[in-house]
Chains A and B, each alone.
Chain A
Amino acid sequence: MENLILQTVDLSKKYKTVYAVKKVNMHIERGDIYGFVGENGAGKTTIIRLVTGLAAPTEGSFYLFGEERNKALKKHRMAGIVENVSLNRSMTALENLRYQCYICGIQKTDAELESLLCDVGLNPAEIAKRKIKNFSLGMRQRMGLASVMIEDPEFILLDEPMNGLDPQGFVEIREAILRLNKKGVTFLISSHILSELDKICNKIGFISGGELVEELSMGELHEKSRARIILTFAEEEEAKAAQEALASYPVFAGSECAGKAITVYGERDVNEILAILVEKKVRISSINVKEESVEEYYIEQLRRRHG
């Protein structure tokens, strides 16, 4: 519990009759970079809005730093960008950072604020006195990250931080996140760009239709996505019998049965599987060995979920 930065317990948000988020139970530990993946309208932003206190859950609750929601939200240990980067367009970059300092109740010198701009790949000499309305989308994203870092938070929530960034921007934001993470900052990052999350996250949560479909470590995800064997059977009954046969071997414990197919994850020996099935007298229709990217795995999960 002490190590848990965020724990949600059946967290739900209902708008009239529709659930935007339904019974989500997620766990983020200290030092994690937790990637949050889901299609548009899946509920990613709603969960971030609930955790940051911008919206109130209709059911369930959450614990931040081990403390119950209402207590935890009062403490300045969290920062984040939700939906859009929140900046005053008529103020300059430095004025915006100064304004954020007032909000957080902290004091920083101009030199300290300029060094924050450097940390996110912005050149203070060029942009410190330029108004935000004249910034490109990518520059605004970086400014947002700089303003988030002002109060040295322990937990940062970033909603689509890669939006509008060029490849150079991707690298800079990624490096800034990894640098902060090394200092002990925990991250929750939502994004559509799974390949980017793959490069920085150690844990990932798939969300669809407001429900957390799967929460797994990056290691587990790679294990599941890189190699798997799909066994197809003529009848559902045969698939179930095969699943029962395989389940008695710990090495195949994670295999999944759906309809007439069984998926065995990891780099397994096909001959070993065949030997088991022959022994149990289960007839197999086809064997398909697949290796796919994290993105393909995610799309496959969505396809399965939506039938």
Chain B
Amino acid sequence: MGKLIKADLFRILKSKLFLIVAIISLAFPVFMTLMYLALDKILVASAGLTGMSGLGMTGRALLSESFVMSSNMGLILPIFITLFIAMDVSNGTLRNKIIAGRSRKEIYFSHLITASIVSGALILVNVLLFMGCICLVYGYGVPINAEEFVRLVYFFVTGLVTFVFSAAVSTAITLSIQTSAPAVIISTIVGMGLSLITSILHTADLTLTNKWFCLIPTYTNSTFLASGTFDAGSFWLGILSYAVVGMLITLFGLTVFCKKDIK
């Protein structure tokens, strides 16, 4: 399994697609920060406002732009992961793995782990850089005490788990379908669908009125992003939801992949 993960990481690092996504991941935070700065200047110049910092825009507040499934990296990463796995099928290198005696389980999990590592690493770099840039310009907003530190840990763990979950969904869809175009479309629809359900629940002002909503994947993440406070119970329910739904999706993907003929 380790060797297969090494092979997949080798392939991903050699792909142009990865280079493009990595550049986007690095450039986007800088671009967003510059955009906020420009907006700041326009506001000051046109309306005599004191700028975004004066409107309460801080690093802490702008963190809600991160780890969002329905925009930016949240849209790019599932497509990238889907294409990366689909290329293994279309190049025929997936066939090489089977012929070399690798079991389908090994292949599936090596893809899942590689996708999770790459997805997690790219989103983490993206968010940390965004935070760094924003904090550099506007500051964090509140002192980082023990309570705030715990909040940040919750925030990062939930965010990372969201993207690992998304990688698991993309892996299951791609290895079940084994064709890139439909897999990209379905992965995007599933990601957007989950975000949409979460948004509808929020619009209905159900936020935290019922903790069990946290059992809907991505709900915890978006609830957490939307609200200033968050309790440990909701956090663990959210993690449990990702784990259970993620495992069910993985089980489904693995079963289909193991039964299906390789293209």
Q: Which residues of A contact B (CB under 8 A)?
A: 49, 52-56, 73-80, 82-91, 95, 98-100, 102-105, 147, 151, 157
Pairwise interchain contact A103-B3, C-beta atoms closer than 8 A = yes
Q: Does any Cβ of A come within 8 Å of B211's Cβ?
A: no
B100 CB within 8 Å of chain A? yes
Option from A53, A55, A86, A105 in Cβ contact (under 8 Å) with B93 = A86
- B259 contacts across to A, CB distance below 8 A: 56
B261 to A147, Cβ gap below 8 A?
A: no
Q: Which residues on B sit within 8 Å (CB–CB) of A102?
A: 3-4, 6-7, 10
Interface-lining segment among B11-19, B32-40, B168-176, B230-238: B11-19
Q: Which residue of A lies closest to B5 (CB)?
A: A102
- B93 and A99 contact, CB distance less than 8 A: yes
User: What is the chain B residue whose CB lies nearest that of A73?
Assistant: B101
Taking a contact as CB atoms under 8 Å apart, the answer to whether A99 and B7 are in contact is: yes
Contacts of A91 in B (CB 8 A): 11, 14
Identify the 10 closest CB pairs spanning chains A and B, nearest first.
A86-B92, A102-B7, A55-B261, A105-B3, A76-B101, A54-B262, A52-B99, A86-B96, A103-B7, A104-B100
Beyond contacts A52-B99, A90-B15: 18 other A-B pairs, Cβ-Cβ < 8 A, are A52-B98, A53-B98, A56-B261, A77-B101, A78-B99, A79-B99, A83-B92, A86-B91, A87-B91, A91-B14, A99-B11, A102-B4, A102-B7, A102-B10, A103-B3, A103-B100, A103-B102, A157-B99
Q: Quick one: closest B residue to A89, CB to CB? A: B91
Task: Determine if A87 and B93 form an interchain contact, defined as CB atoms under 8 angstroms apart.
Answer: yes
Q: Tell me, in angstroms, the Cα distance from A147 to B91 when the chains sit together.
A: 14
Instruction: Given A84-B92, A88-B93, A103-B4, verify A54-B99 contact (CB < 8 Å).
Output: yes
Q: Which residue of A lies closest to B8 (CB)?
A: A102
Query: What residues of chain A lie closer than 8 Å to B15, measured between beta carbons?
Result: 90
- The yes or no answer to B41 lying at the interface (CB within 8 A) is no
Instruction: Report the minimum CB–CB distance from A51 to chain B (whole Å).
Output: 10
Of B10, B99, B103, B261, which is within 8 A of A99 by CB?
B10
| With A88-B14, A99-B7, A103-B97 as contacts: A74 and B103 at CB distance below 8 Å | yes
A206–B203 Cα distance when bound, in Å, is 68
Of the candidates A77, A82, A84, A85, the one having the most CB atoms from chain B within 10 angstroms of its own CB is: A82
A86-B95 contact, Cβ under 8 Å, with A49-B261, A103-B102, A151-B100 = yes
Q: How far is the CA of A56 from the CA of B101 in the complex (A)?
A: 15
Show 25 A/B contacts (Cβ-Cβ < 8 Å), sorted by A.
A49-B262, A52-B95, A52-B99, A53-B99, A54-B95, A55-B261, A56-B261, A74-B103, A76-B100, A78-B99, A79-B100, A82-B95, A82-B99, A83-B92, A83-B95, A86-B91, A86-B92, A86-B96, A88-B14, A89-B91, A91-B11, A95-B14, A98-B10, A99-B7, A102-B10
Q: Which residue of B lies closest to A52 (CB)?
A: B99
> Which residues of B line the A interface, CB within 8 A?
3-4, 6-7, 10-11, 14-16, 87, 91-93, 95-103, 259, 261-262
Q: What's the nearest-Cβ distance from chain A to residue B263, in Å?
A: 9
Contacts of B96 in A (CB 8 A): 86, 100, 103, 147
Query: In the complex, what's the smallest C-beta–C-beta distance from B126 to chain A, in angstroms?
Result: 24
A260 to B9, CA, bound (A): 67
List the A residue with the shortest CB-CB distance to B258. Answer: A56
Contact partners of A80 in chain B: CB under 8 A? 99
B102 nearest CB neighbor, chain A only: A103
Question: Given the complex, which residues of B lie within 8 Å of A86, measured CB to CB?
Answer: 91-93, 95-96
Inter-chain CA distance A74–B99, complex, in Å, is 9
- What is the bound-complex CA distance between A76 and B100, given in angstroms? 5
Shortest B257–chain A CB gap in Å is: 12
Distance in Å: Cβ of A185 to nearest Cβ of chain B: 15
- Chain A residues with Cβ below 8 Å from B100 are 76, 79, 103-104, 151
Kindly list chain A residues whose C-beta atoms are within 8 Å of the C-beta of B4. Answer: 102-103
From A78, A84, A105, A147, name the one whose CB has the most chain B CB atoms within 10 angstroms: A105
Interchain CA distance A84-B92 in the complex, whole Å: 8
Choice from A55, A82, A88 contacting B91 with Cβ under 8 Å: A88
Report the Cα distance A88→B93, complex, angstroms: 7
B10 to nearest A CB, angstroms? 6
Contact A74 B101 (CB under 8 A): yes
Q: Looking at the assembled complex, report how far the CB atom of B98 sits from the nearest CB atom of chain A, in whole angstroms.
A: 5
Closest B residue to A87 by beta carbon equals B91
Residues in A whose Cβ lies below 8 Å from that of B87 = 88
Closest-CB distance, A80 to chain B (whole angstroms)? 5
List the B residue with the shortest CB-CB distance to A102: B7
User: In the bound complex, do residue B101 and residue A55 qualify as a contact, i.e. CB atoms below 8 Å apart?
Assistant: no
CB-based contact A90/B98 at 8 Å: no
Q: How far is the CA of A84 from the CA of B94 in the complex (A)?
A: 12
Given A90-B16, A99-B93, the answer on whether A54 and B3 have CB atoms closer than 8 Å is no
Min CB distance, A105 to chain B, in Å? 4
Q: Chain A's nearest CB lies how many Å from the CB of B148?
A: 43
Minimum C-beta distance from A23 to chain B (A)? 19
Nearest B residue to A82 by beta-carbon distance? B95
Looking across the interface, which residue of chain B has its beta carbon closest to that of A72? B101
